[in-house]
Amino acid sequence: MTLRVAGKLHQGRTTNVSRGGFAADMNEKVPVGAEIEVDLQLVFDDDAQSEPLRVPARIVWCTAVEEMFQVGISFKPIPADRAQVLAMFLRYLDDSGPKTKQPKGERSIDDQFR
């Protein structure tokens, strides 16, 4: 993941991606409130990853953690074609996550909304 902040590039690693944004681990402090562009490379598995997906965003928080910084980034409105790729990636993450077995006779919360 690459952040473009006021013409300067910052490299980091994403964690906890959602529809609204993501958290990232960074080596450098970045300014909270900055309007930025993010190049995300979505990794589907060891052999499949997307081309960098450039999206507009804003830095919401930045916290020092040991020798690094954790950063919270919220997406700004994303163009439809890129939003579709991001939505597909999030569905992939949902589908590939750990599955929990429901006790016999019980329904999952997801079943109640189908």
DSSP 16: S
Inside any domain, residue 56:
yes
Q: CB atoms < 10 A from the CB of 54, how many?
A: 15
Which CATH number is 92's domain given? 2.40.10.220
Under the banding of pLDDT at 50, 70 and 90, the label for residue 114 is: very low
In a domain, 102, yes or no: no
Residue 1 predicted with pLDDT over 90: no
* 46 domain residue, yes or no: yes
**pLDDT tens-digit series, residues 6-30:** 889 999 998 888 889 999 999 999 9
Contacts of 82 (CB under 8 A, 6+ apart): 53, 54, 55
Does a structural domain hold residue 107? no
Residue 105 counted as domain residue? no
- Domain extent, residue 46, equals 2-97
45 within some domain: yes
Residue 47 domain-assigned (yes or no): yes
pLDDT on residue 51: 78
**In which band, very low, low, confident or very high, does the pLDDT at 62 lie, cut at 50, 70 and 90?**
very high
In the chain, the number of structural domains is: 1
Q: What would the pLDDT profile of 26-55 be if each residue is shown by its tens digit?
A: 999 999 999 999 998 777 666 777 778 899
Please state, in angstroms and rounded to a whole number, the distance separating the CA atoms of residues 114 and 109: 10
Does any domain span residue 109? no
Residues 79-94: pLDDT tens digits? 888 888 888 888 887 7
